[in-house]
Structure 1
Amino acid sequence: MVERVRRVREDQAAGPDTAELMRRVARGDEAAFEQIYDLLIGPVYGAVRRIVRDPAQSEEVAQEVMVELWRTAARYSPERGSVLTFAMTLAHRRAVDRVRSAQAAADREDHVGRREASRPFDEVAEQVTARFEQEQVRRCLQTLTELQRESVVLAYYGGRTYKEVGELLETPLGTIKTRLRDGLIRLRDCLGVVG
């Protein structure tokens, strides 16, 4: 790390003044930003990688830092430190935010998992609910006309296609579709299904 920082500082000394480049970046100079990017992406990535650890996430955070550097270039003040220091401060903050965010997400998942695991499955309640729903469907099927009920039972409980239902009942396909549509609307209304 020390060697990399020394190399960046040597490059900065040999190349253009980074403070001047940042002033140009603040005015929207893309060429100046390319130079800043080339000078800083290595140290920024290294700093982020030490905190985040994951290479792919580190690359993502490093790119976010460089975008933030572009957006906040006007806030840079040479009196408060070098461009490298400014960039490394942004990198450190972004990396710590990413680690905290990942940890918070893991904690939430763990908490939900423990809460779900501690809630015992009530098989009796599940069976009662299923029986109640079956009984409600049976009751609602009785509200359909005989033709509608016959079509619905063949299609949805018999697993037949509309065409097969039409052939079995020797009824045109259009009539079967109408019976099924009307029957399903009545079932929906009876069951209290919204939508």
Structure 2
Amino acid sequence: MEAPVEDDRLLHQRVVGGEETALGEIYDRFAPLVFGLAVRITRDRVVSEDITQEVFITFWERPLAFDPGRGSLRGWLATIAHRRAVDHVRTQERRKASVIGPRLLEPEPERLEDAVLSRYEADGVRLAVGRLPDDLREVIELAYYRGRTYRQVADDLGLPEGTAKSRIRMGLRRLADALAEEGA
């Protein structure tokens, strides 16, 4: 059986060549990850569907933006989804602040089955994050659990921006590998 990373490279080459079926295969493989990440950050399924669509449209329109030599396709798509979701949340927070002022809003209650599924998935990811080396775990927690950008992570930890970015990328790669080994 072909290694997933090598398979991703071949799929990427097919997308670069304009093959729509390759994009479909990539979508089938990674849409749950992209959507789940967006839901976790935005807490809005409809917005997360839009973000998921935007991520794959971006990949289709500019497939050469992904460099297989710098990381996995899974990590790259997750990073794009994370950025889009954080941007959405920040935009919504600014809108709310301008309309209602600085008071806090209560989040809408989740449906029970969504809450249970999200909790199960989140617990698996948290365990995998907890097994990362401290320097990688710390940057992943800041970026993905606290919604910090790589620049903010660098400032928070007193690191050069390039180091923060590299650690986030490496942490995501190790996390993806660990989750893949567990069948996630």
SS class of match (1:78): coil
Alpha-carbon distance in 2 for matches of 1:49, 1:31: 26
State the partner residue of 1:25.
15
The structure with more helix, counted as a fraction of residues:
1
Residue 43 of structure 1 deviates from its aligned partner by: 0.6
Q: Distance in 2 between matches of 1:14 and 1:61?
A: 24
- TM-score, length of structure 1 as denominator length: 0.48
Letter in 2 for 1:27: G
Which has the bigger relative contact order, CA under 8 A and spacing at least 6?
Answer: 2
Q: Where does residue 33 of structure 2 map in the other structure?
A: 43
Separation of aligned partners in 2, 1:16 and 1:41 = 19
Give the structure 2 partner of residue 103 of structure 1: 93
Once superposed, what is the RMSD of the aligned Cα atoms? 2.1
Please say if 1:71 is aligned against 2:71.
Answer: no
Look up the match of 1:94: 84
* Percentage of identical aligned residues: 37
* Residue segments in structure 2 that go unaligned for 5+ positions in a row: 102-184
Count of residue pairs the alignment pairs up: 101
Q: Give the Cα separation in 2 of the matches to 1:18 and 1:104.
A: 38
Retained in 2: the 8 A contact 1:26–1:74?
yes
Give the distance between the partners of 2:4 and 2:42, measured in 1 at CA. 32
Q: TM-score, normalised by structure 2?
A: 0.50
Q: Which structure has the larger Rg?
A: 1
1:84 matched to 2:58? The reply is no
Q: Counterparts of 1:16 and 1:32 in 2: how far apart (Å)?
A: 14
Q: Partner letter of residue 45 of structure 2?
A: P
Deviation at 1:16, TM superposition (A): 7.3
Residues 81-139 of structure 1: CA deviation (Å, up to 9, x unaligned): 0110110010101100110111111112125xxxxxxxxxxxxxxxxxxxxxxxxxxxx
1:62 aligned to 52, 57, 60, which one?
A: 52
Partner of 1:13: 3
Matched AA of 1:104: R
**What residue is the counterpart of 1:169 in the other structure?**
none
Measured after TM superposition, the shift of residue 14 of structure 1 is 6.4
In the alignment, which residue of structure 1 is the partner of 2:181?
A: none
